[in-house]
Structures are given as structure tokens and as C-alpha cells.
Structure 1
Amino acid sequence: MGAALSLLDIGLTSHLQRQIWQGSPINDPDSNIISSGFRTLDLALPGAGWMPGTVTELLIEESGVGEIRLLAHMLRELTVGKDRSVIFIAPPWKPNLAAFRAMKIAVDKLVWVKAPEDQVLWAAEQSLKQEGIGAVLIWLPQVRPEALRRLQVAAQEARSLAFLFRPLKAARQSSAAPLRMVCKPILPASAPTMNRREWMQAVMLEIDIIKRRGPLLGKPLQLSLPLQMPALPEHIRRAHQARKAREVKHVVDSGDIAAFIARSSQAALDALGIGEFDLAWSDIDVE
């Protein structure tokens, strides 16, 4: 019999070459892969980071367990390092510009799309087709298997990242997403005696990778996701350590509230003065 013909010896187009995978089942080098910012998580992810052209399902108990802080390094790298846009489709909360700035994410590269549930996946597919898109974040409680397959094809063709947030019960359902992760908060033992700020500083995130290319994860990972605080005025941050020395049984001191409102109002006026809200966030409701 003749020698086997290597696929790499024939003239494949770049599009077809992207469909071929060779080598290690876990850590293939790829210059487009973006680190998660957590070494232990990178070691568990195929390619040692978030891989473009892949839908990642994040299965969470409820919104706010730390899923955005988990993706903060990726969001910063895309919007600042690579000058690419990130689209948020149907998030269950109003995006907080101050929080994104605190994480050093370029807010002018973030786009918030409000869409009814029956149009979320269509909006996601259309977003992935646009030039300059680095990632699309999608919140959708229910999705049909065939729709999820279309989303994976769209992400693969666009070579962009796609993150799909779904409830924990979806873990029992089949999925075309190549990467699926169950994310649960780990409460500190002293949680009942903590105020909310202390609680969010101490809470950790348990990540169980239930589907990935290669063998399953031996045991869940535990990541620390400290809360960013630069949204508060500087003198408030300097006083934070002093306040920790005394027992605080409320969420925010009244002085913090006044200072925060004053700073937020001025920031809003400054933003309007430079036309910032005329960009990606022009559809934000004014309360």
C-alpha cells in the first residue's frame, strides 16, 4: 500500500485548515487564545485559555455569582489590548459603567443589546457576523439544541468568542457547545456575620468543567474573585482599612452614599460633555 497522504501536504484553504485539529487534546498553542487571567483555570482549558470560534456555556445558579469578574481579564484584553468590541445580549441587569471602568475595561467598546427572548439567538448570530467583534455574551434561559448548533457554527466561522449564560438545570441537557462549565459561589464560613461588601470580597467561585475537549476535569476548581473598589472616591478607599477595624452591620455608610452619588453625578455630566453616551450606550434607560 502506498504511503498515507498528509492533509497538510495538499493545498487547503485557510478556512478548511481552521476546521482541522491536530496534536494535544488539551493545550494546543494558538496565538488568538486569550488567557482567563487565572493560571489554574488556563491549565484546565483546551488551548490554555478562552479559544476563539468556541461557544462556552456558563451554567450559574443566578446572575451575579461572579461570572463577569471571571471574564474580566478577557474583556480587558479584547477591548484594550486588541481594540475589539464586545456585545452583551439580553443581560438580566443594566450594565454598570463604573464597575467596568474599575476593571480597566474600555467601555466605549461595549455594546448592550436589549432583545426579547425569541430574538436573542438571532441577535447573537448577527453580532458574530460583524467586523471587529471579539466576543458576544448571551443570556438565555432556554435554547433548542439545533439553535445552539447554529450558534456554535456562527462562532466558529467568525473566529470570535461566545459565552452563553444558562441556569444550572441546563447541565442535564445535551449541548453542541464544546466547553461547558458549572459555576457556583463558595460562601465563607463567617458569611452570616459579614456585611455585603466583605462578603463579596471573600466569596469564591467553584468551577466544574463538565464538557471540554479531552478528559474530564478531575475535581472542580476554586477561584478567588476579589471585588474591585475604585468606583468609590479615593478618600473613601483610604478609609476602608480603618473601617474594617470596627464592626459594621450595614452595607454602606451614609458618608459613602453621599460621596458616591456626588462622584457618579459628576461622572455622568463629564460623559455627556464628551458625547460618550452617544456611542455604545445610547439606549440605556434614564431613571
Structure 2
Amino acid sequence: MGAALSLLDIGLTSHLQRQVWQGSPVNDPDSNIISSGFRALDLALPGAGWMPGSVTELLIEESGVGEIRLLAHSIRELTASKGRSVIFVAPPWKPNLAALRTMNIAVNKLVWVKAAEDQVLWAAEQSLKQEGIGAVLIWLPQVDAKALRRLQVAAQEAQSLAFLFRPLKAAKQSSAAPLRMVCKPILPANAQTMNRREWMQAVMLEIDIIKRRGPLLGKPLQLNLPLQMPALPEHIRRAHQARKAREVKHVVDSGDIAAFIARSRQAAFDALSAGELDIAWSELDGE
């Protein structure tokens, strides 16, 4: 990991003065704030965007509900506009460069760190200590309160963004993260008449902010996350068209949305390993 991180750009300096906050509890603009790309969400976030130097917990039922699409605008801003690096620590699926390029993300600024579950926290902390880091995305099912405090301190010292993906059941646990959000997919009203691709285009994301600086959110937000498909080689495009002609309609209960997405993504991975597709992680989750 050290060898990979040593290739990152150098240039981030510590901003100790920003560790002392003064101002109104919500929507206090800061030049270092990174917009989420969603106006409604920005208005609900302290500082009107993602605040560097803090951990944001995204509590999800299953990986693949749209969490990367939710962060895509911010990752693009950090990598393509600001020239900073973004590190993925222990994602459950292999990042797909073709789909990330479709989002205009500078993939040369992305680092994928593989880590066993008992090493994820250490890898995240070491990532935050590197120079030139804009954000660290961390997938960690189990973490205790002490470890969360340590991660928050690391993010604060680095003045970088840290996004921690945890299961929904963690919402009942205390956390040192200043911002905690429950993210759930919303089933389209006419889902029973849609095929899988149409269904994925129409699924929205409900966000309930259960902890933030200032008063709690009055009601959950509902965001429509754009789903951009990477360009396919001609032979794969024709194969897609042939499959679409015989595609089976899917009927999914609202309580099984995330599980359905996960199963669909796994099917894509099975096809990938069989040589049928060259996309997987991003086609089904929009990354």
C-alpha cells in the first residue's frame, strides 16, 4: 500500500485553524466545502456541502443502492477540478474504470486499496495521512466507538473528506462521526411493468440525516440519481440488444430492493467472469 500511495501528488498542508468552528449551525459557506451536486442535499448539509475534516457515515442496507452515484459529483470535483486523489478502501466490488470515466472522473487520481476486514481501519487512517488526498471512501461492516473516534481525528488532522459505509443496523449505535445518513432505495411506482435497466434508471434514493451539526432534518430527502452507462464495444452492444429483446420483467418487493440490486450485480460479475461482459460494478450501481 505504501508503494501505491507514494505515487500520489504532494501538496496538502494542515489547516489547524479550521478545526475551530464559528458561525451558524447549518449552511455556513466555506471555500473548502465540496458540493454534493444535489441542491436539496447541499441545503441540508452543514456548510452547504461535504465538509473536509470530518467523517460522514452512509448507512446502507446493501452495497449498491446508489452510494457511488451519490458521491460521483464530489469525486469528479476533487479529481478532475482540484487534482486531488480519492482512495477506495476495501470496496465490496471491483471499481470499473470505464463507468468512472463516463462520469468524467479522473481515474488516474483514484487508488483502490485491498484490505482484510481487520486491516481496513488501519489502511483508512494511513490513507488520510498521505499528502494530496481529497477523500477516502471506506467500507467497514464492523467498527467500535474508539476506532470511529480515531478515524474522525485522522480526517480532522488531514482536512480531507472521509465517507464510511456501514450497515443500517449501525444507526442504533453511538458514533463520533459528525454527519450520519441513512440511505434507502425507493421503488418506482410502476416497477412491475419495467425491465431491469428501466428499473435501475427509475430507482431513487431516500436520505434521512439522523445526525448533523444543528437541528435534525424535518423529513427525509428523495434524490433522483442519474445512471450513466459506459460505452460498450460493438459486439457487446449487439449482445445487449439481443438480450434486451428477450429480457424478463422483474417484480420486486420494496423491502428487497437492495438485495435485488446486489443479486443483479452478482449476475453481471458471473457474466464478466464468463467473458460475456466487460462491465460490472458500475453498470448496475451507476458508478
Q: Please say if residues 186 and 205 of structure 1, whose CA atoms lie closer than 8 Å, have aligned partners that are also in contact.
A: yes
**Residue 150 to residue 65, structure 1, CA distance change in 2 (3 Å):** same
Deviations 1:25-58 (A, max 9, x none): 0011211101000000000000000000010000
Return the offset for 1:263.
9.8
Return the offset for 1:16.
4.7
Q: Please say if residues 135 and 161 of structure 2, whose CA atoms lie closer than 8 Å, have aligned partners that are also in contact.
A: yes
Q: Which amino acid aligns with 1:104?
A: N
Q: Which residue of 2 aligns with 1:278?
A: none
Give the 3-state SS of the residue equivalent to 2:218 in structure 1: coil
Q: Please say if residues 194 and 249 of structure 2, whose CA atoms lie closer than 8 Å, have aligned partners that are also in contact.
A: no
Q: Which residue of 2 aligns with 1:222?
A: 222
**Residue 158 to residue 73, structure 1, CA distance change in 2 (3 Å):** same
Q: Please say if residues 180 and 210 of structure 2, whose CA atoms lie closer than 8 Å, have aligned partners that are also in contact.
A: yes
Are 1:28 and 2:3 matched, yes or no? no
Aligned-residue Cα RMSD (Å) equals: 2.8
Q: Which residue of 1 aligns with 2:204?
A: 204
Q: Which residue of 1 aligns with 2:120?
A: 120
**Residue 103 to residue 153, structure 1, CA distance change in 2 (3 Å):** same
Q: Which has the higher contact order (CA 8 A, sep 6+)?
A: 2
2:234 and 2:46 map into 1 onto residues whose CA distance is 40
**Residue 150 to residue 231, structure 1, CA distance change in 2 (3 Å):** same
TM-score by length of 1: 0.78
Give the 3-state SS of the residue equivalent to 1:123 in structure 2: helix
Q: Which residue of 2 aligns with 1:94?
A: 94
2:24 and 2:236 map into 1 onto residues whose CA distance is 50
1:234 and 1:214 map into 2 onto residues whose CA distance is 52
Q: Please say if residues 129 and 154 of structure 1, whose CA atoms lie closer than 8 Å, have aligned partners that are also in contact.
A: yes
1:235 and 1:93 map into 2 onto residues whose CA distance is 25
Q: Which residue of 1 aligns with 2:58?
A: 58
1:114 and 1:35 map into 2 onto residues whose CA distance is 28
Q: Which residue of 1 aligns with 2:145?
A: 145
1:236 and 1:126 map into 2 onto residues whose CA distance is 40
Q: Please say if residues 200 and 226 of structure 1, whose CA atoms lie closer than 8 Å, have aligned partners that are also in contact.
A: no
Runs of 4+ in structure 1 off by over 6 angstroms are 234-237
Are 1:182 and 2:182 matched, yes or no? yes
Q: Please say if residues 233 and 263 of structure 1, whose CA atoms lie closer than 8 Å, have aligned partners that are also in contact.
A: no
Q: Which amino acid aligns with 1:65?
A: V
Higher gyration radius (CA): 1
2:183 and 2:67 map into 1 onto residues whose CA distance is 8
2:27 and 2:40 map into 1 onto residues whose CA distance is 13
Q: Please say if residues 80 and 106 of structure 1, whose CA atoms lie closer than 8 Å, have aligned partners that are also in contact.
A: yes
2:104 and 2:161 map into 1 onto residues whose CA distance is 20
**Residue 16 to residue 71, structure 1, CA distance change in 2 (3 Å):** closer
Q: Which residue of 1 aligns with 2:266?
A: none
1:83 and 1:160 map into 2 onto residues whose CA distance is 13
Q: Which residue of 1 aligns with 2:19?
A: 19
Return the offset for 1:19.
2.2
Q: Which residue of 2 aligns with 1:111?
A: 111
**Residue 235 to residue 225, structure 1, CA distance change in 2 (3 Å):** farther
2:152 and 2:187 map into 1 onto residues whose CA distance is 34
**Residue 104 to residue 155, structure 1, CA distance change in 2 (3 Å):** same
Identity of aligned residues (%): 85
Any stretches of 5+ residues in structure 2 without a counterpart? 1-13, 251-270, 280-287
2:139 and 2:190 map into 1 onto residues whose CA distance is 32
Any stretches of 5+ residues in structure 1 without a counterpart? 1-13, 252-256, 266-287
Return the offset for 1:264.
5.1
**Residue 262 to residue 210, structure 1, CA distance change in 2 (3 Å):** closer
Where in structure 2 are the equivalents of 1:233-252 lying within 5 Å? Answer: 248-249=247-248
Q: Which residue of 1 aligns with 2:265?
A: none
Q: Which amino acid aligns with 1:58?
A: L
